[in-house]
Amino acid sequence: MRLARGVPAIAVFCSGEGTNLQAILDATRAGRLRARVALVVSDQPDAKALLRAKRAGVETRCYINPREYPTREAFERALIALCEYEKVRLVCLAGFMRMLSPVFVRRYRHRILNIHPALLPAFPGAHPIRDALQWGVKVTGVTVHLVDEAMDHGPIVLQEALAIRPGETATSLLARLHTIEHRLYAQAIRLMLERRTRIVGRTVTIR
């Protein structure tokens, strides 16, 4: 079911379970986030995120196979076409395990958010929880940042730290980080949609 006119449309790109997608859907349903999830895209056919989107009544949800396109740029132009059709104001990456090329990033400059379970610039990449535990750090956390052409590199919108407990496992740490992620991502999306962020270089200030 679509919300009233004037509610900003967002797209969520996922590759797996979609727990952050679910948190966004829950925030919109509860009125904590004035937005409409207009588009959910996955690059994996069996992603649970697509089922979550279906259950929530998201009208445009789709699996797009990157291998069906001759180049990464062609694949991303298909994503752009979907976003433009749905008049998407903000693109939210939620466990989307593909790095976007300059073709997509430049089209949506400062309108792509990503969430990462570490305090960037520490522990970028695909295994930040494992890396933090192996390094023996005492504190990790969650970062919501704007996406640029480099991996886990764009300007930081919000961060929240979390102390690592003695004997912490990857499973227990992930569960505690998810609690922060699900709250922090909705907060960052709201700030962006309400145009309460000002971006100068790598610095994001909140108004």
Tell me which residues are annotated as active site: 116
Which structure tokens are listed for 120? Answer: 């960037």
* Amino acid, res. 103: V
Distance set, CA 123 to CA 152, 153, 158 (Å) = 9, 11, 16
What CA–CA distance (Å, rounded) separates 43 from 65? 6
- CB 40 within 8 Å of CB 5: no
Which residues, 6+ apart, have CB-to-CB distance to 54 below 8 Å? Answer: 61
DSSP state of 108: T
Angle at 82 between CA 79 and CA 84, to 5 degrees: 110
